[in-house]
Amino acid sequence: MNRRTCATLFLLLGLAGSALGQELFNYTYEIRTIDAVNSAQDDYGPALSKDRGTLLLTSTRAEGTLGEADIFSASRVQGGYGTPVNPGSPLNSSGNDGAVAIAADGKTVVFSADDGPDGKGSTDLYIAEIADGRITNIRNLGEASTRRHGSRNPRSAATGKRFGLPATAKGDMAKPTSGTPP
């Protein structure tokens, strides 16, 4: 069944339930803030590792930021997550670093950076390995993944190590990165 068929089926089931006066789709969930993670500044773009032991996020918090925005890491503790820490350089730079995506395998992370030492465009995509909350082996994905207007907000596929990019500010549709990362 393709995506369009699934969406149509979902819509038809929802309409049928409404016509019968029954709610077929009812989701209840609790929204809780994670006080140790939130700051008075901007905190956004969270990504969880597969085992949910590591939370990566982008923040402009005053304490510990090397540039305008940096990637922070928080480890799971009893009842939530601990205070995020800045892993420092080379993960973070003096520019905007963030927009993190963790692959479904939980071993690969892709992020964007404005001011990386080996930058090839206005914003570059980097790939790295993640294990035990540590990010290592950071590499620039190269010119194929960097567009003139910047490469931001990578998204991971539900399976494997594929990543894609949403449309840019200029409105063009971003092409997925070249399949499986190196």
The mean pLDDT value for 156-179 works out to 48
Q: Which residue(s) pair with 163 in the sheet?
A: 156
Tokens standing for residue 153: 């907000």
Q: How does pLDDT run across 59-105, given as a tens digit for each residue? A: 998 887 787 899 999 998 887 899 999 988 888 888 888 888 888 77
pLDDT for 48 beyond 70: yes
Q: Give the other-Cβ count within 10 Å of 158's Cβ.
A: 6
pLDDT of residue 45: 85
- How much is the pTM? 0.67
Kindly state the average pLDDT of the residues 118-143: 78
